[in-house]
Chain A
């Protein structure tokens, strides 16, 4: 399929669906292409086993680390006074931020009627769920006694105690658990019609029964679709303020405290922008190999990658603005502790981290201004890695520098992670990839019914005289009656 690797699409017209599905496709070929990945279990590519195997090993490294931690306590990590928050909080914020791009794609782009979200929303939402699962582990283990983590929730108990609702850490419990729950149900609701498709296509009797149960009896009734669409739109409308509130509340964990470098009102918006920025980098890191491995270049086109890169550039500029404002206000505010902290941040023992952060998040994304960079897959992949590193460094700088240089010189110190910080971090990456690769093998990774709808819409644009159709043949008979060979049949 030459059309699938078209890195130089025709000049965009006014058609919002242009270039979102390349190659010749019908409802049947789209359904077949996406569902066959799940149905033909024997046809999994070798690279699936390689990545999944690697992820499984790393997952076990995490399990071993957690086991050791439960025996020994959190002292095995590098955290200690003055730096009571180390990699555990850095990685918590990093992971939860990554999750936010999934909600942005599924909810905010839906409300903004951006058609291009269609082929990437399903796995971006899955990414959200798995990123939140990784994020949740850190504060849970950081409590030191995770087996009594239910103490965080308000429940009547013999101690006669309740959580302290004036504390941002309690807000965080509510924000993150609500976010995890709503993301999970949003993802599941989006899956119901596709699970019905899988039920009707599955050949394995056990798989058929499982999909039948999960699809809840979906039959595509027009009345059901009407309520379904209303509910889906409502969920998008609720998830949008939710995602903004979650990272705002995460930033309150810092900004409500009076620690130098944390106590600033720019934190909520700049944390949210940073979350979306890191999240789109992760979507690109997952989409680029997945579309190649599974031959989905017709559905996740260069146009998708190009637009994701543009969002990365935009949010990257917001984040960079945040860094400049932080530096400006620590000088303009005139607080000696703030000024000292900023000097320490830039030129102190952690200066290397700050300048790496500026290069990763301030300088590197500027390459995305060039269309040639946005349309080059290796460049996008490398830039996404740099952005992910940059966003990790941002949290490192915020947490570590401020805690080791507070207002009292007697509490100054230096933070060094231990091998268990590393094994835990690499382990959560293993868990993330492990869950993600299970997902792409057992669940349709692209929203099939939304792709049919997109195909229907793009076909409509053709017949309305737009000239250059997505399918390349405007005189064609109605889509469903075509007998073209599935576009991806050779892959």
Chain B
């Protein structure tokens, strides 16, 4: 069954979205669309579907790097904090050196993890994903609330060079979706 919602204004079309019942179907559809030459597209799924990023040929390796760099920053700044404070407020404890580095390890270690986790993994991931974001055109897609529940969506965007309102809709309908709809901006 297929229902096509007609967009009111052609020039504000964001893309055409197909809804699937199964994770495998959306992976298959993404692979087919990629083979047919589409590049500007994204899939929306209720859980991370493995194989989908390969099908979309999308890979972003920046998150681990951000985590690493932030961890390094935390490590250096944690150690530097202790060295600075020990020199700024010198306190002779039994003749031990002011910069008694072995006792600085625990705090250095905690600062490494704090920076890597909070600034790297969390803020880094959110920033790369563009969050927080108030609105996105894909939310105009009919039945899109099911993308966070039990349905799988593939959207081919209007900015794709190969995009054609009729042809792309026809193409998506051939991949076994339950619905194909136009999405306005």
Residues of A within 8 A of B (CB): 26-28, 31, 154, 160-166, 168, 170-171, 174-175, 178, 181-182, 185-186, 188-189, 193, 196-197, 199-201, 213, 216-232, 234-235, 238-239, 241-242, 245, 249, 252, 449-450, 452-453, 456, 478-481
Contact = CB atoms under 8 A, between A and B. Distances in A.
Given A218-B131, A227-B63, A235-B121, A480 B56 contact: no
Interface string B54-90: 0010111011100100010000000001100110110
A449 B146 CA distance: 13
B39 to A, nearest CB: 13
B121 to A, nearest CB: 4
Contact of A174 (B23, B52, B110): B110
Contacts of A478: 21-22, 24
A178 B116 contact: no
B111 A216 contact: no
B11 interface: no
Interface of B: 21-24, 30, 42-49, 52-53, 56, 58-60, 62-64, 67, 71, 81-82, 85-86, 88-89, 91, 93, 96, 100, 103-104, 106-107, 109-111, 113-114, 116-118, 120-122, 124-126, 128-136, 138-139, 144-152
B44 A227 contact: no
Nearest to B27: A222
Contacts of A225: 45, 48-49, 52-53
Nearest to B21: A480
Contact of A481 (B22, B103, B122, B131): B22
Given A222-B42, A227-B60, A478-B22, A166 B145 contact: no
Given A171-B107, A186-B117, A200-B145, A224 B129 contact: yes
Chain A's interface: helix, strand, loop or mixed, by majority? helix
Kindly list the 9 A-B residue pairs having the minimum CB-CB distance in the complex, ordered from nearest. Answer: A231-B125, A27-B150, A162-B85, A217-B133, A200-B145, A216-B132, A171-B106, A225-B48, A480-B21
Given A174-B111, A238-B117, A226 B59 contact: yes
Nearest to B178: A481
Nearest to B98: A166
A216 B133 contact: yes
B88 A162 contact: yes
A201 B113 contact: no
B149 A201 contact: yes
B148 A26 contact: no
18 contacts: A28-B149, A162-B88, A171-B110, A200-B147, A216-B126, A221-B42, A221-B129, A222-B52, A225-B53, A226-B59, A228-B125, A229-B48, A230-B125, A231-B124, A234-B116, A238-B71, A238-B113, A452-B150
| Residue from B128, B136, B144 having most chain A Cβ neighbours under 10 A | B128
B147 A220 contact: yes
